[in-house]
């Protein structure tokens, strides 16, 4: 499981680099599917991961508004900040009490910690798949989604 976080975080950073090819208008332009534009997709990935991780840590949700993070630099900086916070406890979060039921303020149902960790991982990969289509529509090559052949930076190094 932790390897999937390492994969997602590395691919995410490659997409942040890729985004520097685009103008601010292209990053925010309305597109069909997903959450509707490139920058908001990255913001949404960061926001959702952080909210769920705080929930499984028993911490109160912190709500971020995209209106406050409207540039590539701001979203990248938010991602870096929240990720270093997540990285500290992640190994423990992943290994302990997998079947513990978690209640979150934005959903009526309860889910196990293990289910939530799977959800965070699949959520990011799914949205990155959407970015790859939009990239081709912009006549750019997308970031590689290959898991194999990557040297993954360890969670402990974030």
In order of 25, 47, 122, 136, the CA distances from 156 in angstroms are 35, 21, 21, 34
23 binds a copy of itself (CB under 8 A): no
Structural contact between residues 88 and 112, judged by C-beta atoms closer than 8 angstroms: no
Binding residues for a divalent metal cation: 44, 123, 127
**Kind plus residue range of the DSSP H or E element containing 5:** helix 2-19
132 binds a copy of itself (CB under 8 A): yes
The footprint of a copy of itself on residues 92-131 (CB under 8 A) is 107, 109, 111, 114-116, 118-119, 121-123, 125-130
Q: How far is the CB of 77 from a copy of itself (least distance, A)?
A: 25
Q: How far is the CB of 10 from a copy of itself (least distance, A)?
A: 12
Q: What residues contact residue 108 under an 8 Å CB cut-off, 6+ apart?
A: none
Helix (H, G, I), strand (E, B) or coil at 101: strand
Structural contact between residues 114 and 99, judged by C-beta atoms closer than 8 angstroms: yes
d(CA 50, CA 86): 7
137 binds a copy of itself (CB under 8 A): yes
Closer to a copy of itself at the Cβ: 69 or 111? 111
Closer to a copy of itself at the Cβ: 34 or 66? 34
3 binds a copy of itself (CB under 8 A): yes
CA angle centred on 14, ends 12 and 15, rounded to 5°? 65
88 binds a copy of itself (CB under 8 A): no
Choose the binding region for a copy of itself from 42-50, 53-61, 63-71, 138-146 (rule: CB under 8 A): 138-146
Burial group, residue 65, by CB count within 10 angstroms (0-12, 13-18, 19+): exposed
Interacting residues with a copy of itself (CB under 8 A) = 3-4, 7, 31-34, 107, 109, 111, 114-116, 118-119, 121-123, 125-130, 132-137, 142, 145-149
């Amino acid at each position: 499981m932790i390897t999937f976080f390492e994969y997602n975080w590395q691919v995410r950073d490659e997409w942040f680099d890729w985004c520097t090819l685009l103008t601010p208008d292209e990053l925010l332009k309305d597109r069909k599917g997903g959450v509707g534009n490139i920058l908001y997709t990255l913001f949404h990935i960061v926001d959702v991961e952080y909210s769920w991780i705080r929930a499984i840590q028993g911490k109160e949700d912190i709500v971020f508004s995209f209106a406050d993070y409207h540039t590539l630099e701001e979203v990248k900086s938010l991602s870096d900040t929240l990720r270093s916070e997540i990285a500290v406890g992640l190994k423990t979060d992943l290994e302990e009490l997998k079947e513990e039921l978690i209640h979150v303020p934005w959903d009526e149902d309860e889910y196990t910690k293990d289910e939530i960790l799977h959800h965070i991982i699949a959520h990011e990969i799914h949205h990155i798949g959407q970015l790859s289509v939009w990239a081709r529509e912009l006549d750019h090559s997308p970031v590689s989604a290959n898991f194999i052949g990557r040297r993954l930076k360890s969670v402990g190094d974030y």
